[in-house]
Amino acid sequence: MSDRPVLIHLEHVSKSFGNSLVLDDLDLTICKNEFVTLLGPSGCGKTTTLRIIGGFERPDSGRVIFQGEDITGVPANKRPINTVFQKYALFPHMTVEENVAFGLRIRKKSREYIREKIDYALKLVNLEGFEKRMPKSLSGGQQQRVAIARAIVNEPEVLLLDEPLGALDLKLRQEMQYELIRMKNELGITFIYVTHDQEEALTMSDNVVVMNQGYIQQEGSPQKIYDEPENAFVADFIGDSNIIRSTMVRDRLVNILGIEFECVDTGFGENRPVDVVIRPEDIVLAPEREGALNGEVTDVIFKGVHYEMCIMTGDFEWIVHSTRRSEPGSGVSISVDPFDIQIMNIPESEDEEAVKLDI
């Protein structure tokens, strides 16, 4: 848990649409001035969670607590929260400055106040000089910046962003990730961001909430989520992983594909089946018979900063990332540092795979 003060608490929130249960007894705490990302596949409940925080949906049960007050029944326009959607919803007949000023004019702010806020917001999103431009003359990235400017002029305590970069090309999307981090730091407000893109989540967030089937699977810093996944879903969803059904021989010793490897995990019992996660970049390749497991390279793809190779050892195919290329058909061996072997319990049933963790 962050040492920052709690801003929002979703307390035992459930939501269904028809016969489809979207959120099941969700409990989530968001702290002040955090950049929190709700991450997960389509249909996991992340956008519904965002809409409940924003007041666009009401939970079937549970409460939304904002700074200690129950705002579950408070409408969206009465909450100190603004939202930027993937479809920016700019008014096509209004100029950039008219779009940005719309909310302030609804609130009957003075002309001087509006002018000052427009100038500040457009400077913050690097759109100075664009005041008289029409939305159709802007690029996708510029339209997205206008939508953010329109939200921040209202001085919300929370900014909700629902996959706002999804329509942008890769280079622009990466640039906007850094822009959002800069804006969050300058504004000093809480950002709650929804995406299915793992890179976005790991790049921008203070805290990542991984969701699946209406449950929180894991919550923590980007580094903790990546380095210490708590179950196979998180390990598989966050980056590439080798997930191998193995046997925990005893504390700090695991049998992987018939070979015993030292590890650092304890408390899993003796001779117990477990899942092992090893990241592709943590595998050390050596000439055949010089490592722990021998295999054959089957495929090689150049990824720019590394080679991605598939290596068969018996019936298991490993994904390996290395800056050194091994040719298809060549024999290699695999070794892993004990600190790079992550041990996880195996769910006792299919239902258990979806249930939330005590975090």
Q: Where do the structural domains in the chain lie, given as residue ranges?
A: 6-227, 241-353
Q: What's the mean pLDDT in 84-97?
A: 85
Q: Is the pLDDT of residue 163 over 90?
A: no
Q: Computed from CA positions of residues 148, 151, 152, 157, in that sequence, does the dihedral angle turn out positive or negative? A: negative
Q: Which residue has the tokens 């050596």?
A: 286
216 Cβ contact partners less than 8 Å away, ≥ 6 residues apart: 26, 27, 28, 209, 210, 356, 357, 359
- Tokens found for residue 277: 């996660």
Strand 283-287 to 242-250 pairing: unpaired
- What is the rounded distance in angstroms from the CA atom of residue 79 to the CA atom of residue 100? 19
Q: pTM value?
A: 0.86
Amino acid of residue 33? N
For the chain, the distance separating the N- and C-terminal CA atoms, rounded to the nearest angstrom, is: 9
Domain 6-227 fold: Rossmann fold (3.40.50)
Alpha-carbon Rg for the chain, nearest whole angstrom, is 24
The pLDDT of residue 179 is 83
The residues that bridge with 318 in the sheet, in sequence order, are 311
Q: What is the pLDDT of residues 62-89, one digit of tens each?
A: 999 999 999 999 999 899 998 887 677 7
Q: What's the mean pLDDT in 146-160?
A: 89
Q: Is the pLDDT of residue 349 over 60?
A: no
- What is the rounded distance in angstroms from the CA atom of residue 257 to the CA atom of residue 112? 71
Homologous superfamily of domain range 241-353: Nucleic acid-binding proteins (2.40.50.140)
In this predicted model, which residue has the larger pLDDT, 126 or 212? 212
Please tell me the total number of residues recorded for the chain in this structure: 359
Q: What is the pLDDT of residues 102-121, one digit of tens each?
A: 988 988 889 999 999 999 99
The pLDDT of residue 354 is 52
**Of 173, 160, 158, nearest to 37 (Cα)?**
160
Give percent helix, percent strand, percent coil of the chain, each to the nearest 5.
Answer: 30, 35, 35
The pLDDT of residue 359 is 35
Q: Is the pLDDT of residue 269 over 70?
A: yes
The pLDDT of residue 350 is 46
- Predicted confidence band at 348 (pLDDT cuts at 50, 70, 90)? low
56 Cβ contact partners less than 8 Å away, ≥ 6 residues apart: 76, 83
